Amino acid sequence: MTSDPTPDGFVRTARDGAVLTVTLDRPEQLNAQTPATWSALAAIGASLDDDVRVVVLRGEGRSFSAGLDRSMFDAAPGSTGGLGDLARRPTAEAEDQIREYQRGFRWLRSPGIVSIAAVQGHAIGAGCQLALACDLRVLADDAQLRLPEPTLGLVPDLTGTSNLVELVGYSRAMEICLTGRPVGAAEAHAMGLANVVVPRGQLEDAVAQLTRAITAVPAAASRATAALVRSAVRNDPETQDAAERSAQVLRLRELAGR
């Protein structure tokens, strides 16, 4: 089942059983994003039902997403939601607005789902941060990830910094962010940003294969394990050991029918 693109957000969805595919559908603009894109993504996250196990996030056309739409950089007073508009707002109001934007990214690590970014071509700025927001990344061999915000006098503010540090560590994340340089697919794989790199023509098949492997695992065990892996990033060993014990007892009782 496929939905129509959301108004002005250029996002469409397709559901196949336990797999929800979310497509950025603005190929003529390299899937450039606007606040409407983030609102549409947040709405999708809020509407997930318990039967969805995997969310595949992809971009239509030759690039995953080239980042912010150019209109976002317009400093004119009438450009609502753009960077100039945010700069004119009171601090608390501007931060609240950015928090709303971040909701379009954070749901991709919601309990109960595993998210996979299928990345080809450019993933720049907001596009890179959207790929980083997912649990897993499958890259075509022509993919390039880049966070150029500091080179423009800005900072990555769409959940990118914490996700990047989790994936590649402190010093690599610092260098990637501060230089704004592109990271190609082979380097991304070597440093742990990409789970798999395949030729461009094999991207969809590789994502489908990974999706089948995930959904082949019993749902309750898969979700409990994903929750443990996510909590391990921030828990100290003692806390994580306790979480493993608790989760395993629940699994054993369910398997025993108790």
- Of the candidates 31, 222, 11, the one whose C-alpha atom is nearest the C-alpha of residue 124 is 31
**CA separation for the pair 207, 200 (Å, rounded):** 12
3-state secondary structure of 122: strand
Question: What is the token pair recorded at 230?
Answer: 């996510």
Q: What is residue 5's predicted lDDT score, i.e. its pLDDT?
A: 46
What is the spatial distance between Cα 119 and Cα 137, in angstroms, rounded to a whole number? 7
* Domains of the chain from N-terminus onward: 11-215 (3.90.226.10), 219-255 (1.10.12)
| pLDDT, position 72 | 87
Helix pair angle (219-232, 237-255), 10° resolution: 170
**DSSP code per residue over 8-46:** TT-EEEEEETTEEEEEE--GGGTT-B-HHHHHHHHHHHH
Closest among 115, 109, 110, 112 to 221, alpha carbons compared: 112
pLDDT for 258: 73
Please report, in tens digits, the pLDDT of each residue of the chain (258 residues total): 555 545 568 999 999 999 999 999 999 999 999 999 999 999 999 999 999 999 999 999 999 999 999 888 876 655 567 888 899 999 999 999 999 999 999 999 999 999 999 999 999 999 999 999 999 999 999 999 999 999 999 999 999 999 999 999 999 999 999 999 999 999 999 999 999 999 999 999 999 999 999 999 999 999 999 999 999 999 999 999 999 999 999 999 999 987
Question: Smallest Cα–Cα separation from 133: which of 221, 52, 65, 32?
Answer: 65
User: What confidence score (pLDDT) does residue 80 get?
Assistant: 66
The span from the first CA to the last CA of the chain, in angstroms, equals: 37
* DSSP state letter for 256: T
